[in-house]
Amino acid sequence: MELKQLNLGCGEDRKDGYVNVDWQAGVHPDVVHDLNVLPYPFPDRSFDRIEAFHVLEHLDRPFAVMAELNRILRPGGVLHVKVPHFSRGFTHAEHAHGFDVTFPLYFNAAFTKSGYTGTEFLLRRMRLSYIAHFHLLPHMGYGAVRIAAARAVNAVVSAFANAAPALASRLWCYWVGGFDEIEFIFEKPSRA
pLDDT at 158: 94
Give the separation between CA 125 and CA 184, rounded to whole angstroms: 6
- Classify residue 54 as left (phi > 0), alpha (psi -120 to 50) or beta: left
Q: Cβ-count burial of 96 within 10 angstroms (0-12 exposed, 13-18 middle, 19+ buried)?
A: middle
Report the pLDDT value the prediction gives residue 1, as an integer from 0 to 100. 54
Provide φ and ψ at 113, rounded to 5°: -60, -35
Q: Can you name the CATH fold of 5-187?
A: Rossmann fold (3.40.50)
Q: How far apart are CA 12 and CA 33, in angstroms?
A: 15
Cα-based distances in Å from 19 to 4, 16, 164: 8, 8, 36
pTM flag (> 0.85): yes
Amino acid identity at 68: E
Q: What does the alpha-carbon distance between residue 91 and residue 96 come to, in Å, rounded to a whole number?
A: 10
pLDDT values of the chain reduced to their tens digit, one per residue, 192 residues: 567 999 999 999 999 999 999 999 999 999 999 999 999 999 999 999 999 999 998 889 999 999 999 999 999 999 999 998 887 756 666 777 889 999 999 999 999 888 999 999 999 999 999 999 898 899 999 999 999 999 999 999 999 999 999 998 888 877 878 888 999 999 999 975
Cβ atoms of 80 and 130 within 8 Å: the answer is: no
